[in-house]
Amino acid sequence: MGSGMLLAFIVLLAALYVLYSYKLLDVPDTWTWPFKLRAGLTLLAVCVTVGALYGLYRSIQIKIQYDRLQDTLLHWEKGNPARPVGPLGGEMEALAGQLERIGKKWEDQVSSLQRLSTHNAQLAEQARVSAIVEERQRLARELHDAVSQQLFAISMTATAVGRTFEKDLSRARRQVELIEEMASVAQSEMRALLLHLRPVYLEGKPLYQGLSELVREIQAKAQMEIKLEMDAGLELVKGIENHLFRIVQEALSNTLRHAKADKMEIMIVRRSDALRMSLKDNGVGFELDDKKQASYGLSLMQERVSEIGGSIRYITAPGKGTRIELTVPLVNGGQRGSEE
């Protein structure tokens, strides 16, 4: 509005100068002072109105420019490739050009990250033999540390039941309930370990096919309903597909081992220039803190998402289930043909 008031002052001076030049300020003697005052106020009101309208016009124009800039920054914040700002005019033109240059650099960096992840996936595939050996050693340790100890505890408790059954029936019942609980825990651990026996990589299969086979295998071994929603024709670059497959695999493992859930929904959709993935279960949930993120493998998911330039969010609370939401930008289309 400051520019509008300045314009009003300039218009007023210009009007006075014109009136003075054409000797229009020499009013007849018949004009009374009240009439002269009203004429002056009218001229001033016209000038102020012109200035106010101009100031309003400039304010609306600046608001539109500001909204376009804010929309671009909001797209970046959500992990989406920014749309061109376009010409803004005025003092914001230089800022718009600078933002577009920053956006281009950001897209180039994300593209480089995704190409690097594809290259890493190819290197990892070449080292698959050593990875299989390491995976077997890890599974052997987990079998010993988790399932084997649970089975040993079940065996010891079952032996104790035999000695206390006739002496203390109430205590024997509690021991039987403890055996049931330990057997359930051991079963969950075994299901999670069986899940990790899946191939480490997709081995050239599209993501939809690999996830469908993974879901069928888990449903055949665990009493959990899994719903997969994904466009069967969606084929991404290899690096993105491998990371998304491993994230889903890790999330299913956590659900089997910790969540005590009987339902899980997996949804993967493409929205313009970004991929959205949602993993949701109806389990017990947990309190989200640094310790839980480490023990539940959430930090590993975060690392995988970061390697492909995406973002991840965890939504959970005790008794409320868990939902994991991912966003991965797809610069240069993100299709398989763009990596060549």
**Residue 157: exposed, middle, or buried by beta-carbon count in 10 A (0-12, 13-18, 19+)?**
middle
Cα separation of the two ends of the chain: 55
Which of 77, 95, 129 is the last residue before a domain boundary? 77
**154 and 25 in a common domain:** no
Closest CA to 228 of 247, 213, 206, 243: 213
CATH number for the domain including 224?
3.30.565.10
- Residue 224's pLDDT is 87
Could you tell me if residue 274 is inside a domain? Answer: yes
Domain-terminating residue out of 58, 77, 96: 77
Locate 260 and state its tokens: 């005590």
Residue-level pLDDT at 328: 94
pLDDT at 179: 81
Query: Are both 262 and 317 inside the same structural domain?
Result: yes
Number of domains making up the chain:
2
Q: Is residue 99 part of a domain?
A: no
- Tell me if 84 is assigned to some domain: no
| pLDDT (0 to 100) of residue 11 | 61
Residue 340 confidence (pLDDT): 47
In a domain, residue 88? The reply is: no
Residue after which a domain boundary falls, among 30, 54, 77: 77
Shared-domain flag, residues 70 and 119: no
Residues 30 and 131 in one domain: no
pLDDT the model gives residue 267:
96
Q: Note whether 252 and 203 are same-domain residues.
A: yes
Is residue 101 domain-resident?
A: no
Note down the domain range covering 140: 115-339
Cβ neighbourhood burial of 220 (10 Å; 0-12, 13-18, 19+): exposed
pLDDT for the residue numbered 230? 93
- Does residue 106 form part of some domain? no
All residue ranges of the chain with pLDDT < 50 are 1, 199-200, 339-340
Whole-number pLDDT of residue 27? 54
